[in-house]
Amino acid sequence: MSRVVQVPGTLDETAFETLIAEVRGLDDGSRLLLDARGVSWVSPYGLLGLLAVGQEARVRTGLAPLIEPPDDDEVRSYVDRMHFWPAAAEVFELDARPPKPHGESDALLEVTTIRSHEDVHRVVEGVREKAQKILHNRLGYPKPAVIHFSVMLSEVCQNILEHADSIGWVCAQRYHWRRRLGRDVVVLAVMDVGVGFEGSLATEHARRTGESWSAAAALEAAFLHGESRFRDPGRGQGLQAIRSQVVRWDGAVRIRSGDARIAHVPAWDDVPALQGGLAPFPGAQVLIVLPARQNDEDGET
């Protein structure tokens, strides 16, 4: 028997929270069917959210979930160009062979599965030319920003391998964020369904805080204080470096793990800096938003 879950029409960060709430309790052996036929708009975070929810359903039930693709031609074309279906074929049971991507994608980075350090290397090497065109030519970032972005991309992907004990996915897209900023942005999404920050840091840090140890405490330890599960000097600084770079670019970064979310909130955003009590979900889900430079901003990297 299949459990049908309707995917919200706007497939974004909010929709991901809705899907998480819908799929709780799936350990009854029922097969998940995600009905995405009514989707009219998709973000990179939303695309990866489908994979994460599908993978979690597969682990819980032992059955490959099903998915109904969007009916909207424009949305379907975008999903195809973002290379979603090859990644989805490893998570979902698809009715037919995944369609080959058609047309030139304007994405900074199409949906890519991360399993190894070689995958991370290919991702970083593959985005350099596009990052030059999009970050420098389209968003007005200085040329050294391309290098900084590549380092940030490498760090956030390496976190999947070092802390998740699971596969993960990454993608990035430039689009015009009219509703909030009125200018172009690059949106980078990275997700996994592994042990999460609370589980990853528990061995080294939970005993310090005792009963107050939680997903929120783990996120604060990693994101604000550079704590790591590794004892090696210098480990755990990656997320702090990412946060510092995003701050310099007036960007936003949000990390969800377990039942909590932590964020750097720029003046143009209004999400809580730390939020607990969310629907529990394994692993870590990262969203980074980098806005186009404005004319009065200087050229610092």
Q: What is the CATH number of the domain that holds 150?
A: 3.30.565.10
| Residues 240 and 161 both lie in one domain | yes
Last-in-domain residue among 100, 127, 160: 100
| Residues 191 and 62 both lie in one domain | no
**Tokens 């074929």 label which residue?**
89
Residue 134 Cα to chain centre, angstroms: 19
Last-in-domain residue among 100, 132, 158: 100
What range defines the domain where residue 206 resides? 106-301
| Residues 279 and 209 both lie in one domain | yes
| Residues 183 and 73 both lie in one domain | no
pLDDT of residue 58: 93
Q: What's the pLDDT band for 241 if we cut at 50, 70, 90?
A: confident
| Residues 157 and 298 both lie in one domain | yes
Average pLDDT in the 195-199 region? 86
Q: Which residues contact 207 (CB under 8 A, 6 or more apart)?
A: none
pLDDT of residue 74: 95
pLDDT of residue 151: 92
Last-in-domain residue among 66, 100, 134: 100
User: Per-residue b/e over 249-288, b at no fewer than 16 CB within 10 Å?
Assistant: bebbbbbbbbbbbbbbebeeeeeeeebeebeebbbbbbbb
| Residues 224 and 279 both lie in one domain | yes
User: Per-residue b/e over 290-301, b at no fewer than 16 CB within 10 Å?
Assistant: bbbbeeeeeeee
| Residues 31 and 79 both lie in one domain | yes
Q: pTM higher than 0.85, yes or no?
A: yes
| Residues 113 and 91 both lie in one domain | no
Q: How many domains does the chain have?
A: 2
- DSSP output for 170-202: EEEEEEEETTTTSEEEEEEEEEE-SSHHHHHHH
Residue-wise pLDDT for 22-50, tens only, equals 888 777 678 999 999 999 999 999 999 99
| Residues 274 and 164 both lie in one domain | yes
Of 163, 191, 295, 188, give the one whose Cα is nearest residue 245.
188
| Residues 82 and 120 both lie in one domain | no
Q: Which residues contact 260 (CB under 8 A, 6 or more apart)?
A: 214, 215, 216, 219, 274, 275, 276, 277, 278
Q: In what order do the strands lie in the sheet with 66-68?
A: 2-6, 31-35, 66-68
Report the chain's C-alpha Rg in angstroms: 19
Average pLDDT in the 54-58 region? 94
- When mean pLDDT is compared across 72-86, 192-206, 248-262, the lowest value belongs to 192-206
| Residues 267 and 173 both lie in one domain | yes
Q: How far apart are CA 65 and CA 47, in angstroms?
A: 16
| Residues 49 and 168 both lie in one domain | no
Residue-wise pLDDT for 63-97, tens only, equals 999 999 999 999 999 999 999 999 999 999 998 77
What φ, ψ does residue 2 adopt, rounded to 5°? -100, 145
Average pLDDT in the 111-125 region? 92
